[in-house]
């Protein structure tokens, strides 16, 4: 039968070749896929909790890819690999490495020069890495986890609550989140930061 997926607003569709990277052949629906991905993500969160990462480790291409791999490697063959196709978000896939290096350089500068507060830096990094759209799938969830790692491991502050409920499914929390992201796209980080701390 194959994998039939419905997408919520703001989610990026997988092409057929990317769908072929599914490692669990019994998955045929979005609900089953979400469940297996969530189990994998929980293992990745556990992995981060047992470690203390320094900024020199976190703010690198290697860590960005390693984290995505930890989050999705039980489900997708291409976990941790940059996408090889263009999507409705993120620009040309051939520019991913260059854009990510620029973001990492900017972020290290923000930290060193204390350009923004720690929470603001984490949210700015989250917003920009999701706009690069490094991977075929999971970019939003990956960006939120890396923001949690930045705010907690570098700035010693509690992880974000991200509105206190699931934003992966249609509903009020997801609508608020997408509105905050659109504001951030226009240069206003305030709503996204407020949402990230909302319980």
User: Which CATH number do you get for residue 92?
Assistant: 1.10.3290.10
8 assigned to some structural domain: no
11 assigned to some structural domain: no
10 assigned to some structural domain: no
Residues 6+ apart with CB under 8 A from 3: 19, 22, 27, 28, 33
The pLDDT score that the predictor gives to residue 1 is 44
49 assigned to some structural domain: yes
Average pLDDT over every residue of 120-148: 96
183 assigned to some structural domain: yes
16-20, 89-93, 138-142, 155-159: least confident range: 16-20
- State the average pLDDT for the chain: 91
10-14, 91-95, 112-116: least confident range: 10-14
Residues 6+ apart with CB under 8 A from 5: 13, 14, 19, 30, 33
The pLDDT score that the predictor gives to residue 26 is 87
7 assigned to some structural domain: no
- By residue range, what is the domain housing residue 29? 16-197
159 assigned to some structural domain: yes
What is the band of 77 on the pLDDT scale with cuts at 50, 70, 90? very high
What is the band of 13 on the pLDDT scale with cuts at 50, 70, 90? low
Q: Is the pLDDT of residue 146 over 70?
A: yes
Higher confidence at residue 61 or residue 168? 61
Q: Is the pLDDT of residue 190 over 70?
A: yes
Higher confidence at residue 118 or residue 199? 118
Q: Is the pLDDT of residue 10 over 60?
A: no
The pLDDT score that the predictor gives to residue 6 is 61
Question: In a 3-state reduction of DSSP, which class is residue 69?
Answer: helix
- Written as six digits, the tokens of 11 are 């989610």
How many separate domains does the chain show? Answer: 1
1 assigned to some structural domain: no
Give the integer Cα–Cα distance in Å for 175 and 29.
23
The pLDDT score that the predictor gives to residue 174 is 87
The pLDDT score that the predictor gives to residue 88 is 83
Q: Is-contact 135 66, C-beta < 8 A?
A: no
Question: In a 3-state reduction of DSSP, which class is residue 22?
Answer: strand
């Amino acid at each position: 039968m194959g994998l039939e997926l419905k997408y919520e607003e703001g989610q990026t569709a997988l092409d057929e070749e990317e769908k072929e990277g599914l490692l669990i052949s019994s998955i045929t629906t979005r609900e089953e896929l979400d469940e297996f991905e969530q189990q994998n993500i929980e293992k990745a969160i556990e992995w981060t909790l047992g470690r203390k990462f320094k900024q020199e480790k976190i703010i690198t291409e290697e860590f960005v890819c390693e984290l995505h791999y930890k989050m999705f490697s039980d489900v997708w063959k291409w976990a941790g690999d940059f996408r090889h196709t263009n999507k409705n978000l993120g620009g040309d896939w051939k520019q991913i490495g260059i854009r990510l290096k620029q973001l990492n350089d900017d972020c290290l500068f923000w930290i060193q020069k204390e350009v923004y507060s720690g929470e603001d830096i984490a949210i700015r990094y989250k917003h920009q890495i999701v706009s690069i759209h490094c991977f075929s799938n999971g970019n939003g969830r990956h960006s939120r986890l890396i923001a949690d790692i930045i705010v907690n491991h570098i700035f010693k502050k509690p992880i974000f609550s991200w509105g206190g409920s699931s934003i992966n499914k249609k509903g009020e929390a997801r609508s608020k989140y997408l509105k905050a992201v659109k504001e951030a796209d226009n240069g206003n980080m305030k709503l996204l930061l407020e949402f990230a701390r909302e319980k």
